[in-house]
Amino acid sequence: MILIRKCQKERRQKILPYSIKMAEELDLKLPSMEDRDQWLAYIREFILDDPSAAPLDFQVDMDYEVWLTKVQNEHAGINLEPGRVPVSVYFLMKKQRILGHLSIRHSIATEFLSNYGGHIGYGVRPSERRKGYARLMLKMGLEKCRDLGLEQVMVTCKQSNIGSIKVIEKNGGILTKENLNPQNNEIFRVYWIKNLMK
């Protein structure tokens, strides 16, 4: 028993400093014009990995400035398109390089969001996956939700996405139901996370 506890302690000591160091090197920021080239490179990498990819609804032939204006409007909750809710978009940065994107929906007051979308969406660029960034981004996203006063947060993922399932459950997600999306015949797992103020 003593040996087991010693090994567990050693594992914690090895993991914790790495997690702290990783978090200290990263920055979560709102998109701006200065991020244009990095964002376009980020999009190209996604498309090389999956030609159908469109992170944050950005198409490869879109004008970045037009897209940025839409993102800024949605952050402020103004000039919203039909069916859209206020949403805050962030880039996860490391030394001016975008590692991932995060979106925080201020509400889930649409049929799609309340069944399939949830409050938080995130993605990690293909070359940076399986390094713990998704788990960290979801944790950061929950902090942003607390700033909005959201004490119960809905997060979803496809049933086939084992990586996201692990990320959500490690952040306290409780599976409440599974919904079939008739548009693509995909099953979405619906999780809720208690997000009480600290």
Helix (H, G, I), strand (E, B) or coil at 44: helix
Q: Judge: domain 27-194, CATH 3.40.630.30.
A: yes
- pLDDT tens-digit map of 23-53: 668 999 999 999 999 999 999 999 999 998 8
For 55, 90, 93, 134, 158, the CA distances from 130, given in Å and listed in that order, are: 18, 20, 16, 8, 18
Domain boundaries, the chain: 27-194
**Residue 111 in this model has a pLDDT that exceeds 70:** yes
**What was the pLDDT predicted at 59?**
85
Q: How far apart are CA 72 and CA 78, in angstroms?
A: 9
Which residues share a beta bridge with 177?
190
**Terminal Cα-to-Cα distance of the chain (whole angstroms):** 34
Determine the Cα–Cα distance for residues 128 and 109; give it in Å rounded to an integer: 33
Predicted TM-score of the model (pTM):
0.85
Q: Tokens at residue 181, please?
A: 């999306």
- Measured at the CA of 110, the angle between CA 161 and CA 193, to 5 degrees, comes to 50
Judge contact between 34 and 65, C-beta under 8 A.
no
34 CA to centre of own chain: 22
- Count how many residues are written for the chain: 198
pLDDT of 196 reads 77
- How far apart, in Å, are the Cα atoms of 172 and each of 56, 64, 112? 25, 35, 23
Give the tokens for residue 22: 């990783």
pLDDT per residue as tens digits for the range 128-174: 999 999 999 999 999 999 999 999 999 999 999 999 999 999 999 99
Averaged pLDDT, 180-186: 91
* Residue 30 CB coordination number (10 Å): 13
pLDDT at 25: 84
What CA–CA distance (Å, rounded) separates 139 from 9?
23
